[in-house]
A = this chain, B = another copy of it.
């Protein structure tokens, strides 16, 4: 049986704008014990993802916020440490949603068995998990990239962006990635095979993006908003598709930006260019999980899709790593190695 203590990160208060260390609190308490039909889970890996900023706010969204004092939510890869459930045995490794903590119990619902021989288990939190499936389903259902088209994605070395660009390449598109700094831009070209990379820190971002997209933009996979959107908007071609899966530049907003109100301009372009702008979250396409896993696993096996991980050691470092994620400090899929 496990250590008697569980460390967890709780939401100490709701952030005003950018989260600060005081918004989180590390608590130590007794580890939970599995009841009849339950398993005890030891967290191996915790995934840190931008959506978690939304859970810290009370604002209405597609999921309920974390309560003050509640354990921060998050996807995890866990080892079954003890089992009182017939479906699981000690030593099994499972995909779970145990949150920012070392130990958890589960009745088994929503757990998915992982095969450590098939792929590194933490990829179930990245390229073979939620971020990879976000890229895959957003493109398949909304972006619909076609051969010869130009696709743009920002946060392009991140787990979603790098998958988006690589899938677009597999579909015959010109893939243009936007990332912060020369190292990430180099990785886009050398590691992920993008056709062009644009540094969003460049003061002339709009001009550089225009140069990188001589035939305009047919698919813009929106995960950042802000100045990147402003640079993309005038380049959108007729019938361009904009799957919207994130807006990380705005997650810390406390007020709307100054005017003028550009909404009518946006609708004007939607009409005259016949744009399709559509939001989604990956679970809207849960029925496509099997198809995604099969196809993506094949691409990885064949070396046609690559992924990059940014690993932080120790649960206690999760808040700092998460705050850095919101500023683009990570380089690849951000994971906390917990156990």
- Please indicate the chain B residues that have their CB under 8 angstroms from the CB of A255 in the complex: 260
Q: Which chain A residues (234-262) contact chain B, with CB distance < 8 Å?
A: 238, 244-247, 250, 253, 255-262
- Please indicate the chain B residues that have their CB under 8 angstroms from the CB of A278 in the complex: 270, 274-278
From A225, A265, A277, name the one whose CB has the most chain B CB atoms within 10 angstroms. A277
A89 interface hit (Cβ, 8 Å): no
Q: Which chain A residues (257-310) contact chain B, with CB distance < 8 Å?
A: 257-281, 284
A60 interface hit (Cβ, 8 Å): yes
- Please indicate the chain B residues that have their CB under 8 angstroms from the CB of A250 in the complex: 264, 267-268
Contact A262 B267 (CB under 8 A): no
Instruction: Report the contact-size class of chain A (Cβ under 8 Å from the partner).
Output: 35 or more
A222 interface hit (Cβ, 8 Å): yes
Given A247-B267, A247-B268, A267-B222: A273 touches B279 (CB 8 Å cut-off): yes
Q: Which chain A residues (68-105) contact chain B, with CB distance < 8 Å?
A: none
Q: How distant is A270 from chain B, measured CB to nearest CB, in Å?
A: 4
User: Can you report 18 A-B residue pairs in the complex whose CB atoms are below 8 A from each other?
Assistant: A225-B267, A245-B271, A247-B271, A250-B264, A250-B267, A256-B265, A257-B264, A259-B260, A260-B261, A261-B261, A262-B263, A270-B277, A272-B279, A274-B280, A274-B281, A276-B277, A277-B277, A277-B278
